[in-house]
Amino acid sequence: MYYIRSESSFDSAHFLKGYIGKCSNLHGHRWRVVVELAAERLSEEEQTRGMVLDFGDLKMLLKEMCDNLDHCLIYESGSLKEKTVEALTEENFRLVEVPFRPTAENFAHYFYEEVKAAGFPVHRVEVYETPSNYAAYE
């Protein structure tokens, strides 16, 4: 099996509604996303011959995905009152609503599915919430 990896990062705020502890409060992270692709055979197409995939293609996709989540408040659908969302929007804060609790585990699954939907042979995704704590999905 052949493997290639690329990584990107984004800075954002989130909170965990219903959590008992510090993470129930609004706080931020520098999220680091590592994507690993796998293939049993290398490409035979002229441009990508001898590769799993062009690193540039993977880097571009990953950068676009991370840029979409950079410098915003990521919140789970239904976790904020409508008035709160309206007030934050009126203040021109960038909000990104997701249909899942914004945990490292759920982000790993989210990135995995997005990379897979782009047609890449994704094997594993790791999402680091801190330099020493990460969740993975494969």
Per-residue DSSP letters for 37-77?
EEESS---STTTTT-SS-HHHHHHHHHHHHHHHTTSEEEET
Instruction: Considering the candidates 27, 64, 71, 113, report the single residue annotated as catalytic.
Output: 71
Residue 38, domain member (yes or no): no
Closest CA to 115 of 54, 59, 71: 59
Mean pLDDT of 64-80: 98
Confidence of residue 72 (pLDDT cuts 50, 70, 90): very high
Is residue 44 part of the annotated active site? The answer reads no
pLDDT digits (tens, 9 = 90+) for 26-57: 999 999 999 999 999 999 999 999 999 999 99
Instruction: Considering the candidates 23, 72, 105, 109, report the single residue annotated as catalytic.
Output: 23
Residue 83, domain member (yes or no): yes
Q: Write the CATH number for 70.
A: 3.30.479.10
The domain in which residue 106 lies consists of 9-33+55-119+126-137
Is residue 23 part of the annotated active site? The answer reads yes
Residue 61, domain member (yes or no): yes
Residue 41, domain member (yes or no): no
Mean pLDDT of 79-107: 98
Residue 44, domain member (yes or no): no
Residue 104, domain member (yes or no): yes
Work out whether strand 122-130 and strand 133-137 pair parallel, antiparallel, or are unpaired: antiparallel
Structurally, the chain folds into a number of domains equal to 1
Residue 88, domain member (yes or no): yes
Residue 115, domain member (yes or no): yes
Instruction: Considering the candidates 36, 76, 114, 129, report the single residue annotated as catalytic.
Output: 129
